Amino acid sequence: MINMVMLVGRLVQDPEIVERDNGNKVSRVTLAVNRKFKSSDGVYHTDFIDCVFWNSFAKNLTEYCSKGDLIGIRGRLQVDTYEKDGVKRKITDVIAESITFLSSGKTKQETIEI
């Protein structure tokens, strides 16, 4: 079975890194990805996709990227469930396994992989 996602989009906010109790570092960001087709009203819509970067990916993302930068991600979908106020909920994230910095004022194009 295959679980692979490839995205190219712009960071909606400046990435921030958080260190967990176990020492792992994580950065959660939203990527704005434009659709390739117009809707019935003649407008290109944008999808806002939640992405998670761990450890060295999180460090490099926060060091080299900021809001509005264009990046490419290869990763996988991960669906988690949780309960809040007695209601079961789902959250779907893209877990980054490779990142390409396509436009950043801090570095030239660079690819980092696991």
Residue ranges and CATH numbers for the domains of the chain are: 5-113 (2.40.50.140)
Neighbours of 11 (CB within 10 A): 20
Two structure tokens written together for 62: 């926060």
Residue-wise pLDDT tens for the chain (114 aa)?
A: 999 999 999 999 999 999 999 999 999 999 999 998 888 888 889 999 999 999 999 999 999 999 999 999 999 999 999 999 999 999 999 999 999 999 865 544 555 555
The pTM of the full predicted model, rounded to 2 decimals, is 0.80
